[in-house]
Structure 1
Amino acid sequence: MICDIHNVNYVMKLSQLDLNLFVVFDTIYAERNLTRAAEMLSVTQPAVSNALARLRAALGDPLFIRTGDGMAPTPYAESIAADVSEALQRLAASAQRAQAFDPARSNRVFRLSMTDAFDTLVLPKLFADLATSAPGIGLRSFRLPRADIPAALARGTLDIAAEVALPDAAGLIRRPLPPEPHVCGLRPGHPAARAPLTMERYLALDHIHVSGRQRGSGAVDIALRAVGLRRRIRVRLQHYLAVPALVMVSDLAVSLPESWARALGLTVLPLPFDVPPMQTWLYRHARSDGDAGVLWLFDRMAGATGAESQR
């Protein structure tokens, strides 16, 4: 009986806590870093630290231990993390269902993770659309590591992602966007652009390789390796935005999706070998089926790419 009374008192104590403290807990657990958690929550780091201190005092556990890599959850934090995340998800879903979504009047801020190509080429079209149809809607775009996207969509710290195929898409709803053929991009006036690009002439060029990863091959190199060939990579970049600064002042070549090459003002030549087109997908979690706002934006983002609506 004493144990039951203690349990009741504990539950009553939890029920009196500010729900925002558990939002902070869930975000710290996801980010493992107080600074990133503060950025995700749009608050200051001292505010996050203060919320964590209050929750530590209420639950009687440190919850997170500072390490060289950030904040590591304690065993107790690990034991409650899934329940906290699920409870917050259910509350958010209930709140969304209880409110009719009117894009013309909504001030909701949507959180998006997108490839740099989508961010640069599609986001301006999307925002131009929203400026007239949903002037109060806000967008927060940040690039999550590909492996972290499914969990972020499941937790609700991310609403929609535009990304290449994810390794683990369980529980996710995805829609294919128009595929992008790969081309060779050169500066205007490049000597190699004066004649058709043969395999021999392509391999004679010095190349830029663009990848968000520190190492590993891309689609172009995999296609070349399949026929026993390799190109000479002189520069490796993390994103395409740095490409023009190098290509326009050199004879470097870059193989990239065609829309990127044209947007960057490069001379476009067909590749002399077959490379699978770049396939990007829009992702949302199945839990967002009842969220009219996410469903609406999902369609708008697809429409900005030229993909047909499936609703």
Structure 2
Amino acid sequence: MSSFDLNLARVFVLLYETGSVTATAETLHVTQPTVSYSLGKLRRHFDDELFRRTGRGLTPTAGAQRLYEPLQRALADIDTATRQGDRFDPRTMSGRFTVALSDLGEATLLPRLVAAARADAPRVSFTVRPLDVDAAESQLRRGELDAFVATPVLTSHRTVRIPLFHERYVGMVAAGHPRIRGGSVALPDLAAEHHVTVYGPSGHVVPRSLLATYGLLDRVAVEATRFSMLPYVLERTDLVAIVPEYVGEVFTASHRLRLVRLPFETEPIEVALYARHEASRSPSQRWLVHFMAEVLGELVSPAQLPPSSSPNSHA
């Protein structure tokens, strides 16, 4: 290994995590031919193809899979030791980040994120894209996203998943619903009502799955692709929706709605932040991931917050 260039290890780790020559070149601020040349040297050094081209980008071979963990760990140790002067200061440096959120995230999490950024990182700005859970990891790998927040558990060696908080599902109805009264609803009463559900690219499949479990899909009167329409539909009708509790609290704070306990237990959902591996992030991206995890990592009830304040999180 005396002839092994440490820069080749960084190229290898980035190729493994991004699956893309283009993304690796952009991260390292070099040309794509430079990355391809380095890959050739890696292949000769290890006498292994290391990566095969597929429809999903570069797929690691078994040999590459064995090499990844020790090389990634070694680079992480080196980066930790040498990164003291490699910092992103959001108070003095400008940064624009692209994040993907579901419409629920835009309505409930984005205001907290932006409020905290305006207070602590005034030179930072955000571009927010709609979350497509099927495409988000590829967008992250290609450098089109810096991070995204999702509830589905996505497993990939090219991304890291950082849990933020758990929440349960509740029922949401109009404040003056003619039949559902009190703080809970019995199963026969829920089965007698008509429902509105959301089913689309944001990945929230639990409400529809719960209705299917109890044979209530034929009671769905409206099915849409975005949660943001729910408060407007519910406060003008007698329909019922199943929503994450925190989302329901946000909606009831600004609409004539109320929440009720469901007649069955639901598995708590975990909302998580997804990003590239730390070794693959730029200094500004490392700051962003830490900032988002800190701000969004504590589930704070809207009722506990003054209207213009942002939560101080320590998750």
Change (3 A) 1:235 1:257: same
- Determine which of 24, 33, 48 is the counterpart of 1:86: 24
| 2:210 aligned with 1:223 | yes
CA contact (8 A) 1:223 1:274 kept: no
1:247 aligns with 234
Aligned AA (2:177):
H
- The DSSP-based 3-state class of the residue aligned with 2:265 is coil
- The DSSP-based 3-state class of the residue aligned with 2:97 is strand
- Determine which of 266, 269, 284 is the counterpart of 1:275: 266
Give deviations 1:249-283, integer Å, cap 9, x for gaps.
11011110112212112210011012222322101
| 2:140 aligned with 1:153 | yes
2-side partners of 1:219 and 1:281: how far apart?
Answer: 16
1:117-156 correspondence to structure 2 within 5 Å: 117-156=104-143
CA contact (8 A) 2:172 2:240 kept: yes
CA contact (8 A) 2:86 2:283 kept: no
Runs (5+) with no aligned partner, structure 1: 1-80
CA contact (8 A) 2:198 2:208 kept: no
Q: Which structure shows the bigger proportion of residues in helix conformation?
A: 1
Aligned AA (1:249):
R
- Determine which of 127, 140, 163 is the counterpart of 1:176: 163
1-side partners of 2:114 and 2:216: how far apart?
Answer: 43
CA contact (8 A) 2:295 2:314 kept: no
Structure 1 residue 85, shift from structure 2 partner: 3.3
Structure 1 residue 185, shift from structure 2 partner: 0.3
2-side partners of 1:120 and 1:237: how far apart?
Answer: 17
Change (3 A) 1:306 1:230: same
Q: How many residues align?
A: 227
Aligned AA (1:207):
H
Aligned-residue identity in percent = 24
Change (3 A) 1:176 1:167: closer
CA contact (8 A) 1:89 1:155 kept: no
1:60-71 correspondence to structure 2 within 5 Å: none
Aligned AA (1:209):
T
| 2:178 aligned with 1:191 | yes
CA contact (8 A) 1:154 1:287 kept: no
Structure 1 residue 235, shift from structure 2 partner: 0.3
RMSD over aligned Cα atoms: 3.0
Structure 1 residue 231, shift from structure 2 partner: 5.8
1-side partners of 2:222 and 2:211: how far apart?
Answer: 18
- The DSSP-based 3-state class of the residue aligned with 1:129 is helix
- Determine which of 295, 298, 303 is the counterpart of 1:304: 295
Give deviations 1:48-74, integer Å, cap 9, x for gaps.
xxxxxxxxxxxxxxxxxxxxxxxxxxx
1:112 aligns with 99
Change (3 A) 1:129 1:149: same
CA contact (8 A) 1:97 1:290 kept: no
Change (3 A) 1:290 1:190: closer
Structure 1 residue 225, shift from structure 2 partner: 4.1
Structure 1 residue 148, shift from structure 2 partner: 1.4
2:13 aligns with none
- Determine which of 192, 198, 210 is the counterpart of 1:210: 198
Aligned AA (2:198):
V
2-side partners of 1:142 and 1:219: how far apart?
Answer: 23
Aligned AA (1:294):
Q
CA contact (8 A) 2:167 2:268 kept: yes
Give deviations 1:146-192, integer Å, cap 9, x for gaps.
12111221222211110122544222111112112111000111123
Structure 1 residue 299, shift from structure 2 partner: 2.2
Structure 1 residue 98, shift from structure 2 partner: 8.6
Q: Structure 2 length normalisation: TM-score?
A: 0.64
2-side partners of 1:262 and 1:299: how far apart?
Answer: 26
1-side partners of 2:174 and 2:268: how far apart?
Answer: 22
Change (3 A) 1:230 1:100: closer
Structure 1 residue 221, shift from structure 2 partner: 3.6
| 2:247 aligned with 1:260 | yes
